Structure 1
Amino acid sequence: MLGNFVTGTSVLAPAGMLLELSNGLGVSVRDAGLLITFGAVVLCIGSPLTAWLTSRIDRRLLLAMTLLVLGLGNLASAFAPNYAVLLVLRLAMLSLGALYTPQAAGAAALIVPLEKRGGTMAYVFLGWSLAVAVGVPLITFAAGHFGWRAAYAMIGTIGLFSFVLLWARLPGGLSAAPVDLKTWVAVGRSRRILTLLGVSSLQTSGQFVVFTYFGPLLTGLTGAGAAEIGLVFAIYGVCGFVGSVIASRIVDGWGSYNTSALFTSLMLAGIAGWTFGAGHFMVMAAAVAVWGLGFAASNSMQQVRLVMADPALAGATVSLNTSVLYLGQAVGSAIGGVLFAAGLLHANGYVSTAVMSCALLAVLLATRERRAAGA
């Protein structure tokens, strides 16, 4: 879970300090946002590729080395002399960082009984909720008061601590089923798995049209300053943490499909509230709270549904789900950047609401098909 916190904070860090990066590196806010877009593209490609190349490596060694790379990569970023070097460091770091989240899910599945797998995987993904609840607000605070270099140094230090802790505590000898060509063929033939991957992509694309530009959008629409922006990030993350805890408690009884439908509905309600309450800070902050309740829990439920759809293919499907999540980040942040650069600040919310509506429809259709099949 702590490793997912480091991974999530590393991936999302630029969103918490776009203005500081823009001013400090002499680039536009949109260019600073491309750190997320390009990083997401690398993560999208790297997740399934590294899952294939590393499927026979012991999980303890693999996860620990990934955290070591993330820790050192963030520390190096603190000393980047310009935007180009920072971008290269980020892409190199994330090309290996793509491993952590899917392989952590696979490792968790190996060390708990089948009947506890859903709740345990949801618990492991609380790290991503904490990344938004604690990590991004800390980034915003550190960057606002001490500069963006201090923010990167902070992430790097936590990453190295996480590396040491995981190496000391995770048991060795954890081996997943090898990922080979037959595995990818089987995944491609599964309609249920492909539908679930499509849901993940829609959910993430819809969110990142707005999420990537949370700070600048709040400033442009409400005049919010650094303190207010940090508060909204904290609300989003704390509610995400609460939602994930609730999901981990109810999923084994409710089932992952019903739980996913509930939390996707909360995301849509929150994004719609942001959209139609634009210009009123308190309304937008309240909407973010509802949105936050759904975001991390929905991601966890997608992982659980994919594992349960075919446990033998879990190594491939979880990595592919991570890949489409990052694809969604790239697409959503790119669309959001175009709209923001054009001054269409309200349009970000409308586009986000439309895409998330499609995601909810896809969740409901997948749930109905599963019930009809009696699975």
Structure 2
Amino acid sequence: MHAPLPHTARRFAPTALMLGNFVTGCSVIGPAGMLAELSSGLDVSIRDAGLLITYGAAVLCFGSPVMAWLTSRIERRTLLISTLAVFAITNAASAFAPNYLSLLGLRLLMLAVGALYTPQAAGTAGLIVPLEKRGSTIAYIFLGWSLAAAVGLPLITFIASRYGFRAAYGGIAAVSCLSFLLLAWRLPGGLLGEPVDLKTWGLVGRNRMILLLLLITTLQMSGQFVVFTFMGPLLAKLTGAGPDAVGLVFALYGVFGFVGIAIATRIVDSWGPYKTSLLFTSLLFSGVSGWAFSAGHYPLMAASVAIWGLGFASTNSMQQVRLVIAAPALASASVSLNTSVLYVGQAVGSAIGGVLYAHDQLHAAGFVAMAFVALALTTVLCTRRIPAAKAST
């Protein structure tokens, strides 16, 4: 593995990586902010529009480990900027998609390639910063996902509700181009990670800590996406909220997600990743529980989403930090698998949410989400007793 390059060569490189995650986040969760517009513009049901997220997540869950294996020997700068170029091209093409099937095909192509960005960006952090800053830097890079929810998703909702979903896709494409240029400018070349081979996957499969952490990610994301995928339509049906009121809730979710990950970034090096993860998973559970019990009351649901937001991105970033620290030599594989099971959770949650929504089980969705997150919190508690020495073998 190459040693970190001089400080002047790394200036703003983490920020460039973080903005790439912003593009990734907008591309992955964007349909959730414009389900109604996709439904009416493509003449499909809300549930079918939601399947853009479900099918996309299925591609991502398989694509992340496969792409990590196929691309592990490619220089990181080349790999990451190529991924952003694909995001730019496919989002631009989506703005002109003539029908639902063509849009779905473009999305699956985009995410098959895009599956590698988040884990490779996290792994690249270990090549450009000192060991003692690795945890906070990974958390900072994951801040891009918080920004995608805090800024990107409300903007997508705003633009789509006024100008249609095609304008929203065009906006994502424009931001993808800007992110591509920034990353090409600031990320140094010559960065190579540890190659991923079959032996690596075997070591990952025998590491108890890694397996438990992957289970936590799956449960957390499954629970959230039972509700999150259909959050806009659920708010509209349960409270009569219009597009602006829905956009406000998305903004609360993202802004508080930004606050949560900013706090996590500041405290993780002193608190340690386990305590930080426990704190924010507890907040996640509190917020999802609040949504379940307050369904039908817009102010209480919005407040619950704010609490939920504190935990959504920070828990994911802590998962990545814990995986890197648990077994540094396996980080490229374990972080890609974490991204994979994250999308497994999205696929499972959005599929369950779609069934519940189609059968008008609007209140039940919150309680199903709550059960998943409760299991995740219980599993976090189980990881406390695994000695560090065993976690790194």
Instruction: Report TM bin, short chain.
Output: over 0.9
CA RMSD in angstroms comes to 1.1
Where does 1:1-375 land on structure 2 (aligned, <5 Å)?
A: 1-370=18-387
Quote the sequence identity (%): 67
Conserved 8 A contact 2:326-2:391: no
TM-score (norm 2): 0.94
In 2, Cα distance between equivalents of 1:370 and 1:138: 45
1:39 counterpart letter in structure 2: G
Equivalent position SS for 1:122: helix
**Cα drift, residue 371 of structure 1:** 7.6
Amino acid at match of 1:328: G
Cα distance between partner residues in 1 of 2:37 and 2:387: 47
Aligned twin of 2:7: none
User: 1:66: Cα distance to partner?
Assistant: 0.1
Structure 1: gaps (5+ residues) = none
Q: 1:373 to 1:171 in 2, by over 3 A?
A: closer
8 Å CA contact 2:208, 2:391 repeated in 1: no
**Do the aligned partners of 2:258 and 2:310 also contact (CA within 8 Å) in 1?**
yes
Q: Distance in 2 between matches of 1:57 and 1:85?
A: 31
- CA distances 1:279-314 after superposition (whole Å, capped 9, x unpaired): 100000000000000110000000000000110000
Query: 1: CA distance between counterparts of 2:135 and 2:387?
Result: 18
Distance 1:143 1:84, change over 3 A: same
- Displacement of 1:367 after TM fit? 1.7
Which deviations, in whole Å up to 9, do the C-alpha atoms of 1:35-62 show, x marking residues without a partner? Answer: 0000000000000000000001010000
Unaligned stretches of 5+ residues in structure 2: 1-17
2:48 match: secondary structure: helix
Could you tell me the TM-score, scaled by structure 1's length?
0.99
* Counterpart contact for 2:207–2:391, Cα < 8 Å: no
1:369 offset after TM fit, Å? 3.0
